[in-house]
Chains A and B, each alone.
Chain A
Amino acid sequence: MTIHRVIRKVQRFEGWFGGGAALCLIAGLYVGLIGSPPDYYQGEVVRIMYIHVPLAHTSLLGYTVLAVGSLWYLWKRDPIVDNMCQAVAALSAVFTALALGTGMIWGKPTWDTWWTWDARLTSFTVLLLILIGYLMLRTFVDDPEKEARYGAILAIVGFVDLPIIHFSVEWWRTLHQPQSISMRGVSISSGLLVPLLLMSVGMSLLFSYMLMVRTQLLYLDRLLHAKKGRLLSQFHLSKSDS
């Protein structure tokens, strides 16, 4: 038994992602909390944006990786791709939940409400439900190959929510403000943009690093399970022989 070459590669390069994430996040937190000016309208509370927006965009990025990975799995049927899919789904679920949580904390001092069912908030909640459904489904299927296949199909179907989330603030009337960074240009001045970009890059790197760690975790777990299963069947065989 050897370690898969992809996992060996991941093991070699993960440190760069982890280190890069740490550097960007430390710099981003310093600039975001101490070194940047308050907003003309929101005041100090605008600093919540530097944690909320990176979390939200990273969870969308995560779901995109899940959908692409699912297609890739259906094409190649490589179990290691399925390990990656399972890992990215769990992490995206965590990031989505945290994006919703920090958004609620930002909403109270700015909008004066913790929650409202506008199009952006609703479609984002649907993303969390899809991910929870995906993870639940996987626990209920016994055969690993079927588990991976059903999951992949569900993940690809759920992808329709992503454009809805992205364009919800353009298509419908919402309480949530439209995108600040888009084709129209950037409507954040540089003093407030620097911490946002630092935190965004840092959060994406952190997500990649966590994904690498979790994929390894699931892969190694599978490897050990396979080994234990083999030992167990050997044990059963020897018993039936005697």
Chain B
Amino acid sequence: MTNFYIRWGGVCIVAIVLIVLTYNHYRDNLASLAPQQVKQEAPAGEVRVLGMVQGGTLETRAAGEATFSLLGESVSLPVHYEGPPPDNLRELKILVLIGTWTADTQVFEARDIGIVPNYGFIAGAYLLGLLPLALLLFAMTRRVSLLYEEIKASKLYEEE
């Protein structure tokens, strides 16, 4: 039985390492700011902002340019996007923008526009898919080890 527990200890360690790696990876992508935070703090460099495209403000030009206001709880952020407007971009939609805030012109230059990622669904699916299998396998291998011990202990078993 010692080998059995060593093996499952290894499985647990690998699982923890994978969870930590994944969590760290997504923490970097998850951190998004609200429009009011961007206006107040004026962060340098590239940031993620989460907000809703304000109704009636979206203007797209065929040349590959879009301007709109990203609405937070109280303030809205003027946004300028260069490039062909993605399918996701439409009014009253909650989006995540990746880009930089220029304090001088008070305009957010968006480099990329994406839908709000559903990390909860991904985590839920992986937990639902893998956890029951791991528990079932643990219970089965444990029982098989015990059965072998019981059979070996019984007088009826003949060694090869």
Contact = CB atoms under 8 A, between A and B. Distances in A.
B125 A29 contact: no
B70 to A, nearest CB: 18
Contact of B140 (A108, A210, A223): A210
Interface in A152-176: none
Given A1-B156, A34-B21, A34-B22, A220 B129 contact: no
Contacts of B147: 216-217, 220-221, 224
Given A44-B119, A109-B118, A217 B143 contact: yes
Interface residues of A, number: 38
Contacts of B18: 26, 29-30, 33
Interface stretch (A63-71, A99-107, A126-134, A182-190): A99-107
Give the top 5 A-B pairs by smallest Cβ distance, nearest first. A220-B147, A51-B129, A105-B125, A109-B118, A44-B117
Interface of A: 1-3, 22, 26, 29-30, 33-34, 38, 43-45, 47-48, 51-52, 55, 94, 98, 101-102, 105-106, 108-109, 206, 209-210, 213-214, 216-217, 220-221, 223-224, 227
23 contacts: A3-B151, A29-B18, A34-B22, A38-B117, A44-B119, A45-B118, A51-B126, A51-B130, A52-B125, A98-B128, A98-B129, A101-B129, A102-B129, A105-B125, A106-B121, A109-B118, A210-B133, A213-B140, A213-B141, A216-B147, A217-B140, A217-B147, A220-B151
